[in-house]
C-alpha cells in the first residue's frame, strides 16, 4: 500500500474512457467522509488550469480542510476558460453527492492534454462507480488512474515510530523546478496543525520535487496535497518532517527514472557559488541546456558544455577558479582539462545514474543540487504528437 497506508484513508481507480485502454480516473477520500487538515503546493505558472484555481479557493475558504480528491488523467482541463471551471465544479459536486459530503471539502485535479474540453459524459458517470469501489486496497488502482505518459505507477510509504505516511505521484515530462506536469498526494494519520503541515510540505517539496528538471517546462496543473487525519496523535515533528521528505524524495526519484525518453539520470551539484540562489540558477541553466543533455545521452563527459552553460547563467563565475568532476573524478580545473583517469570517467558515464559537480569558482559557499535527465529520441517521439 502507499497512499492508503495510513489508517483512515481509502482510494480507487478506474478506466472511464478518457484514454483508450488505461486507467484514467482516481478518487482518494477519508474513510468516514469527514474533512481533515490539508496542506497543498501548486504550480507557479500564471497560465493555470481551472482545477488549481478551484482547489486554492476551496482551501482558502475552509481554512485548509478536505475530505476527498477526485482526479482525471488524459485531459488537463487547462486553456478551457469558464467552461473548464464549470466542469471542475461539476466533478466536485458529483463526488460530493456520491460520498454524501459537502462540495466545499472536495478537491479536483486534472492532468493531460492542454486546450481540450473535458469529456464530462465519460467523467461524471465514472465518479459514483469510483465511490463504490473505495477501499484501503484501492491505493494501487488510484496510483494507476493518475498517470499520463508514465510507464509505471509511483508509490512510497514510511512507517514512523507513532504514525504512518504514504503517497502516490505521477510525472515524467514537462518537469522543471517549481514542479511541473506532476501530481502527488500524501496521507498520514499524524496529528499536525494545518499551518505546520503546510510549512513541512513546502520545505519537502523545495528539497525534492523542485530539484527535478526534465525539460525546463513548468506545467499548468502541478499539485501536491497532504492530508492528515490525526488519528495517531501528535508525532515528533522532526521525525514527521523527515518522513515527509523521504516520501517526496522517493517519489521524485521514481519520476526521474520514468522521465520521457530517459536513459540517464544526472545528480548535478553546483558548488562555489556566491549564494544558494545563484547555485540554483546555474544548475537550472546547465540541466536545461540541450547540448549538455545530448552529451549525457551520448555518455560524453563534455565538461566544456557544462562550464559554458554555467557561465551564461547570469551568476558570478570565475573561469580560473572553476572545476568540473564526473563521478568524483575532476576532469577540468581553471577552465582547462587536467590529467585524469579517462577510463574511470567513461565507465561512470555509461551508468544510468551519473554524478556531476560543477564549481563555478565564485568563492562562496552557495550550493544546489538538481536532478537532470538526458535528451534523446525517446523524449522527442513522446512530445511530437498531442494525442
Point out the residues that are catalytic. 181
**181 SS3 class:** coil
Of the candidates 243, 180, 166, the residue with the CA atom closest to the CA atom of residue 209? 180
What b/e readout covers 273-309, taking b as 16+ CB neighbours within 10 angstroms? bbbeebbbbbbbbbbbbeebbebbbebebbbebbbeb
Minimal CA–CA distance to 5: which of 257, 258, 249, 243?
243
Q: How far apart are CA 197 and CA 36, in angstroms?
A: 12
**Maximal CA-CA distance, the chain:** 70
Residues 6 or more apart whose Cβ sits within 8 Å of residue 199: none
Q: CB-based contacts of 298: which residues, under 8 Å, 6+ apart?
A: none
Beta bridge mates, 12: 27
Helix boundaries (H) for the chain: 50-62, 81-99, 120-133, 139-145, 194-207, 237-257, 276-287, 290-297, 303-311, 342-349, 377-382
CA angle 104, 222, 288 (to 5 degrees): 170
In angstroms, the CA 289 to CA 203 distance is 27
Amino acid at each position: 500500500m502507499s497512499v492508503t497506508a495510513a489508517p483512515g484513508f481509502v482510494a480507487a481507480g478506474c478506466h472511464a474512457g478518457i484514454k483508450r485502454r488505461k486507467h484514467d480516473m482516481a478518487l482518494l477520500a477519508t474513510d468516514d467522509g469527514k474533512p481533515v487538515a490539508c496542506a497543498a503546493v501548486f504550480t507557479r505558472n500564471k497560465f493555470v488550469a481551472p482545477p488549481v484555481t478551484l482547489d486554492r479557493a476551496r482551501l482558502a475558504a475552509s481554512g485548509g480542510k478536505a475530505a476527498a480528491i477526485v482526479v482525471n488523467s488524459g485531459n488537463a482541463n487547462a486553456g478551457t476558460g469558464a467552461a473548464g471551471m464549470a466542469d471542475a465544479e461539476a466533478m466536485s459536486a458529483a463526488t460530493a453527492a456520491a460520498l454524501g459530503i459537502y462540495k466545499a471539502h472536495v478537491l479536483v485535479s486534472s492532468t493531460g492534454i492542454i486546450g481540450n474540453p473535458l469529456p464530462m459524459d465519460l467523467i461524471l458517470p465514472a465518479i459514483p462507480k469510483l465511490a463504490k469501489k473505495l477501499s484501503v486496497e484501492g491505493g494501487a488502482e488510484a496510483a494507476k488512474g493518475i498517470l499520463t505518459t508514465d510507464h509505471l505507477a509511483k508509490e512510497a510509504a514510511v512507517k514512523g515510530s507513532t504514525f504512518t505516511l504514504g503517497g502516490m505521484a505521477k510525472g515524467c515530462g514537462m518537469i522543471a523546478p517549481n514542479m511541473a506536469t506532476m501530481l502527488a498526494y500524501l496521507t498520514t494519520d499524524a496529528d499536525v496543525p494545518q499551518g505546520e503541515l503546510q510549512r513541512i510540505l513546502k520545505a519537502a517539496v523545495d528539497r525534492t520535487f523542485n530539484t527535478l528538471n526534465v525539460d525546463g517546462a513548468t506545467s499548468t496543473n502541478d499539485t501536491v496535497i497532504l492530508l492528515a487525519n490525526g488519528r495517531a496523535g501528535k508525532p515528533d515533528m522532526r521525525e514527521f518532517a523527515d518522513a515527509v521528505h523521504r516520501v517526496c524524495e522517493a517519489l521524485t526519484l521514481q519520476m526521474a527514472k520514468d522521465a520521457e525518453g530517459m536513459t540517464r539520470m544526472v545528480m548535478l551539484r553546483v558548488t562555489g557559488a556566491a549564494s544558494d540562489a545563484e547555485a540554483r540558477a546555474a544548475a537550472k541553466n546547465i540541466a536545461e541546456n540541450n547540448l549538455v543533455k545530448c552529451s549525457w545521452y551520448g555518455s560524453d563527459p563534455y565538461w566544456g558544455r557544462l562550464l559554458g552553460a554555467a557561465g551564461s547563467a547570469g551568476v558570478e563565475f570565475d573561469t580560473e577558479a572553476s572545476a568540473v568532476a564526473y563521478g568524483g573524478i575532476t576532469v577540468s580545473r581553471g577552465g582547462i582539462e587536467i590529467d585524469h583517469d579517462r577510463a574511470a570517467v567513461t565507465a561512470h558515464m555509461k551508468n544510468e545514474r551519473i554524478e556531476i559537480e560543477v564549481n563555478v569558482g565564485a568563492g562562496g559557499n552557495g550550493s544546489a543540487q538538481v536532478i537532470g535527465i538526458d535528451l534523446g529520441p525517446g523524449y522527442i517521439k513522446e512530445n511530437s504528437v498531442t494525442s
